[in-house]
Structure 1
Amino acid sequence: MKASWRARLAGPGYVILNGIRVINIITFLDIIAASVVMLVKISLTSGFFFFEAVTHAVTAGVSIFLLISELPWLCSYFDRDWPLLGHNSGFITLGIAMFMLGAGVLGNLNRKDMGQDHLGMTFWQIVLSAGVLALVMSTINFVSSFVFADGEKGVTARQIRIYGAVAGQKGEIPRTGSHRTFRLSMKREDTLPIYSPQAGRKSPTDRNSTRFPLKIEKISSPPPNDAASSRYSRDESGIAPPDLAHHPALKGEYI
């Protein structure tokens, strides 16, 4: 019942998630505009205004980067170098980043120099809308990452957004099988045959008995060499060695 419900949701999910993508892009554009407004309207009364300006610039830069990740460009780059923003991942990282950006933008409105009197009603509303929209969309992305994903088939919400109902038929390697694939690759040598000059090629099942099929009787007791042993009893001419009883050291006067 659960699998059929996921399968029926994949088709409408393609439309819904692409609609959410458009709103995400609008949210990032709003955050960029709000950062530029606060950067222009920054107060120069304190000597630490430079660091506040860097904060707004970083916020705008991160928003531009996340905006590009939502566009159908540089997909291979994000899959390779930023896998948490690639199509094999959900929207959890995107939702967390949007929440942090929205909270940071709204936190700037707590200062007096960022009030309505200093920014003006129009610019103040831009900053307010950017923060509120980022918080709302972060929640929507977080929830949609679980609702539209199919963990049993290894299909993520981003894959549903790209492929729709045929996301499970694109030949993607599921996350649930990644550990199994790793174990098979680590044990790849167990599936390869071993060549031995004595026994030829051996099957993987025969290899469990021994790695080096050596016969013990060939190396434990080498056969005697009659030619080598006879050198110490008789030389090549056939003359026997002298009797040691006639050696001068064994005569009576030396004993």
Structure 2
Amino acid sequence: MGLRGRGRTVSETTAGRPLRVLLADPAPMHRSGMRLVLAATGSAPHAEHGDGPEIVVAGETGDGAEAVDLARRLLPDVLIAEVALPRLDGMAVARAVTATGLPVRVLILTDHDGDELVLGAIAAGAAGFLRKDAPPAEVITAIRAVATGGAVITPAVLARILTRVAEALPAPETTTTSKLDALTDREREVLVHVARGHSNAEIAEALQVSETTIKTHVGHVLTKLRLRDRTQAVVLAYETGLVKPGA
């Protein structure tokens, strides 16, 4: 499930230039495979990988500490990091990059998908979490979504996480919704759609308004609730009981 969009399109973010990524994986073979997948965006028809700009590799490393240094120096749009990195693991890399305030988004790409790992990645500031066995087209879509301010989590993993969040929720009668008091009725309605994984375009169609209006509402929701991105908005919507699992 892709939790996408945050008021910007790919073209607005990159101004027509290719998306630049930094690869951080201790296995040279994995980095080579990723380079081949990304190279296809510049040669294969867009129908195969989704509409969007070419994606190029700005740099690569097998070391976590070097990944943070390269992120600062190269300013890639997206840093794709494995969890198991020497010196600094993927979580520490995400925390360090997020703490710098640089316009670099972190996408975790790993073989592991334990719940604690996923929740830890989100808490560390990662904007995306995918398994390495994800289809190439899904990886490309995730990179583009993350680069434009969205958030992406492997569908099966997201389903588990939401179930876990739901199980941890207090009973409806004890749920505190004061966090949502700052929102207007329309903003709450938009938040419900966001929590259900709907894109800005889908929300606009459902509410019969322009996509620009929805982008504005989403921006207001994130600002009022002091949320970093749509992933945090989804979690909050479930925590407060605004959205119920399966509803």
Query: Same fold judged by TM-score > 0.5?
Result: no
Larger RCO, structure (CA 8 Å, separation 6 or more): 2
Which has a greater percent of strand?
A: 2
Instruction: Give TM class, smaller chain.
Output: under 0.3
The TM-score normalised by the length of structure 2 is: 0.23
Which has a greater percent of helix?
A: 1
- Which one has the largest radius of gyration? 1
